[in-house]
Amino acid sequence: MVKKTVTYLLVVFLNYFTLHANYFIISGRVVDEKNNPLIGAQIRCKNSDITTVTNFDGEFKITNLSEKTESIDITYLGYKTFSTNISLEKDAYQELEVKMLPNENLLADVEVFGMRRKEPEKLDMLIRIPLRTSEQVQSISVISHKMITDQGVLSLGEAVRNAPGVGVFGTFGGTTESLTARGFRGIPTLKNGVRVQSDFRGHGFLTDMQGVETIQILRGSASLSQGLGGDIGSAAGAINIATKTPHFQNSGNVGLRMGSWFFVRPTFDIQSVMGENEELGFRLNGAFERGDNYRVNVSKDRIYINPSFAWRPDKNTDFVLEMDYLHDSRTPDQGTVNLASDSVNAIFKMPANRFMGFENDRNITDIMTYTARFNRKLGNGFSVRGVYSGSQLATQKFAGHANVLKRSAKNSDYNHRSRQYSGSTRDDNNQLFQLDFIGKDIFTGNIKHTFQVGADYRVSEVSTTVTNVVIVDTIDVLNPINNVLPNGVKLTFADPITTRNFSYGLSAQDVITLNKYLKTSLGVRYSLSNGVTGHVASAVKGGAFDPILGIIISPLKHINLFASFTTTTSLRNAANLLENGTPVGAAKEKQIEIGVKSEWFQERLRFNLTYFDLLNDNLTYEILNDALQGTGHYMKVGKLTRKGLETELTGRLLPTLDVVLGYAYLDAQYKDSPNYVNGSAPMNTAKHTANGWVNYSIPKGSLKNLSFGMGAYYVGERPLAEYTQREIAGHQIQPNTKPFLADAYTTTNVQLGYAFNKLHFRIFINNIFNKIGYTAYYRGGYLNPTDPRNFALTANYGF
């Protein structure tokens, strides 16, 4: 027995020695310039072709090296590559301590929420002050280009659903995107700080994701930076789309996406740095897209291009010129109808081979935006910033339109709908000039200030034309529908209606750091507006003050407790007259926010929790006569309250695991109203919404560079119309009829990716369980289902 045991141990020892005698070990720690550990830094041993990444403490260990000398590269986005050669002949175990140096010509570390440790690009176009989102007393979400790329996002609606409580209100047949948040429809949407669609109803516009760097969502009042609330959804906040600009590097990317319904989309993105001192940067990216649809007769095509130019004549001065242009042509699709009264959910699952319009229906959109920005550091923390932005939106629409709300007057069955044909055009031009004087980390004694004092000037000019409406026929949605427009249908355009609005603003805000535990935020804005419609002065004119008051308490290093009070002033109905002849007056929506913002793991993981309470107590209603026509006089109709909770967790739980989780609860109610049923909610208001997305990349082994992603998005029940006690002009709502609730739904997307050198492949399966929900602008005649299950394959080559 002893002999056998000795023999066994000898064999084990010899095997171990044989296997490991020629193997070496390298371990170490990677930190930044402040000795903070860098999580997920990549270490590559080039001679042995072995790669690993650092853990949460910035540490790594490689144990199976076979070469006596190793050439090591350590890389981390935003830092200069660290390279070294190590000899292992004398010492088979070596330990490294590596301090990485930032590379100013590269992006900061890009996370799913934007750029770590930096203010998101162009966030100052939205908030006007150089603060990171965690330093704000308002709730702000950021959706980065990384998230857009990893998820294969193609529309603004697909992107913003990653922010809790934000989603699509309606798509108007797929021709635009109107967004909703906190129970408001039509959130003002900006591109590089300037309005594109200035309709107060918040119809929105189309955006190509190829040109988007980040999307910034400011919840609650944006009055301090944006001025008077001219939109229905102004008090809900504002969304800013920041387009791509040069990063002062030589790089490029070309890609191709192909998918369901003959979808094809090639893209490109090229950057170049020029000049003797690399002071010039140029970037050009674009896309072409065409595709059919799951529904017959529906198709789209578009072209997008986004050039930009940056100049840094010295380390204190930046100039940026940029432009983007989108041409989009597509078929409007009304979707489907409800085969019952307004109080019963009987949404018809319209077959894909049935289309309620005509085969030649078309909506053509041309959008161009252009921006010139400069920033000059004056020294000692002071700087001056100037921006000029403009946008031009032109739309043409010629389409058939069936009445999705009500059955045909000639038939009693809900499957029969009257169909008409009409056209319209819109030219919407906006210009913005902002000038700000900024102080960052300015001390008065022991008190630190970051402040902004600025002025802005906005011009909006809109010209709209409409045609006559031709009643064509009556269709039966339960049977095949003829989509050929009959000969002899003629449209005649009326004279255009032109509206010009001018607004001016003065703003000042100061974030005061009293000590490491306490900050206050104080701000005020004065806004003045006037305009002309045709040759008549606009009734929407006047001025108003809007404040922001806030406090941030930091009991721990990574936790900020905040509270704020803000207002949004709207003059849209201020000049309307009550029955006694006095003006209605301005509407001022008041908001209180309370919450917590925290950052963990060297700011790689962010958690936000916000409670909000919004009140509008100056609702009005136009009094109708017996013929249900407006009398020109108005009455007060109570108040609308909105209370809710929003929470989100965004970032990196593990070095190769990205996570986005969100949930929002909303309680929106009309109260004390002679017009709306007390306790009822505004249309399309879901009490519960949730979002989740995870993406995991395998860092090493035979499956390294393989990634898996999954996203799930939940929208709860919601009424598709208002619940009123009387007729409302233009709403086509049956009074004293409780609207039905659209069913809750969850869409689930999955992705599989693989990177091979500079080539990256991704497979997307969207709505994998084929769950259909409905986004509706119901009173406007659109009841659109979400897309059914679809597939896409992308290939991208970087250079």
Q: Which of 227-231, 339-343, 525-529, 538-542 has the highest mean pLDDT?
A: 525-529
Does 778 score more than 70 pLDDT?
no
Residue 262: φ, ψ to 5°: 60, 40
Average pLDDT over residues 613-640: 84
Range in 280-294, 338-352, 572-586, 712-726 the model is least confident about: 572-586
pLDDT at 10 over 50: no
Q: Is the pLDDT of residue 19 over 60?
A: no
pLDDT of 575-607, one tens digit each? 888 888 888 888 889 999 999 999 887 777 889
Q: Is the pLDDT of residue 12 over 80?
A: no
pLDDT-derived band at 104 (thresholds 50, 70, 90) equals low
On whether the CB atoms of residues 746 and 766 are closer than 8 A, the answer is no
E-strand stretches of 572-722: 577-578, 587-600, 605-616, 620-624, 630-636, 639-654, 657-671, 688-697, 706-715, 718-719
Of 477 and 36, more confident: 477
Least-confidence region, from 27-36, 247-256, 355-364:
27-36
Query: Residue 631: how many CB atoms within 10 A of its CB?
Result: 11
What's residue 115's pLDDT? 55
More confident residue, 144 or 540: 144
Residue 2 has pLDDT above 60, yes or no: no
Q: How many CB atoms lie within 10 A of CB 93?
A: 10
What percent of the chain clears pLDDT 70, i.e. is strictly above it?
92
- Measured CA to CA, the distance from residue 527 to residue 529 in angstroms comes to 7
Mean pLDDT for 387-392 is 96
Range scoring the smallest mean pLDDT among 332-336, 341-345, 364-368, 706-710: 341-345
DSSP, residue by residue, 544-595: EEEEEEEEEEEEETTEEEEEEEEEEEE-TTTT-EETTS-B---EEEEEEEEE
Mean pLDDT of 645-665: 90
Q: What is the pLDDT of residues 484-526, one digit of tens each?
A: 999 989 999 999 999 999 999 999 999 999 998 999 999 999 9
257 close to 289: Cβ distance less than 8 angstroms:
no
pLDDT above 90: residue 331? yes
| Confidence check: pLDDT of 628 > 90 | no
Instruction: Give the model's pLDDT for residue 772.
Output: 94
Cα–Cα distance for residue pair 693/751, rounded to 1 Å:
11
Confidence of residue 627 (pLDDT cuts 50, 70, 90): confident
Confidence grade of residue 18 (pLDDT, cut at 50, 70, 90) = very low
Highest-scoring range by mean pLDDT, 47-61, 621-635, 674-688: 674-688
Q: pLDDT at residue 534 above 70?
A: yes
**Lowest mean per-residue pLDDT among 129-133, 162-166, 278-282:** 129-133
Q: How many CB atoms lie within 10 A of CB 587?
A: 19
Compute the Cα dihedral for 341, 347, 351, 354 and give only its sign.
Answer: positive
Contact 706, 664 (CB under 8 A): no
Question: What's the mean per-residue pLDDT of the chain?
Answer: 88
Residue type at 643? K
Residue 80 has pLDDT above 90, yes or no: no
pLDDT recorded at residue 6: 47
Could you tell me the two tokens for 742? Answer: 């659209």
Q: Match 């100037």 to its residue by tokens.
A: 386
pLDDT of residue 20: 44
pLDDT in tens, 167-192: 999 898 999 999 999 998 889 999 99
pLDDT at residue 410, rounded to an integer: 63
> Is 781 a residue whose pLDDT tops 50?
yes
Highest mean pLDDT: which range of 172-176, 207-211, 599-603, 615-619: 207-211
* Confidence bin at 114 (pLDDT 50/70/90): low
More confident residue, 338 or 266: 266
Cα separation, 244 vs 759, whole angstroms: 22
> Could you tell me if 531 and 537 are in contact, meaning their C-beta atoms sit under 8 angstroms apart?
yes
Answer with the residue of higher pLDDT: 534 or 408: 534
What pLDDT does residue 732 have? 66
d(CA 250, CA 269): 11
pLDDT of 78 > 50? The answer is yes
Which pLDDT score, from 0 to 100, does residue 630 have?
80
Structural contact between residues 591 and 563, judged by C-beta atoms closer than 8 angstroms: no
| pLDDT value of residue 102 | 78
Cβ burial, residue 652 (10 Å; 0-12/13-18/19+): buried
Q: Looking at residue 730, what is its pLDDT? A: 63
DSSP calls for 110-153? EETTEETTSPPTTTHHHHSS---GGG-SS-EEEEEHHHHHHHT-
Angstrom distance (rounded) from CA 428 to CA 391: 8
Is 107's pLDDT higher than 70? no
Residue 333, pLDDT > 90, answer yes
pLDDT at 735 over 50: yes
Q: Count CB atoms within 10 A of the CB of residue 494.
A: 11
How confident is the model at residue 678, as a pLDDT?
Answer: 92
> What is the pLDDT, as a whole number, of residue 8?
46
How far is Cα 653 from Cα 643, in angstroms, rounded to an integer? 31
State the average pLDDT over residues 424-434.
Answer: 96
Q: Is 730 helix (H, G, I), strand (E, B) or coil?
A: coil
pLDDT band at residue 117 using 50, 70 and 90 as cut-offs: low
* pLDDT higher than threshold 50 for residue 124: yes
Cα 112 from chain centre? 13
User: Which of these, 754, 750, 751, lies nearest to 768 by C-alpha position?
Assistant: 750
pLDDT at residue 479 in the model = 95
Contact 235, 614 (CB under 8 A): yes
For the ranges 97-101, 316-320, 587-591, the maximum mean pLDDT occurs at 316-320
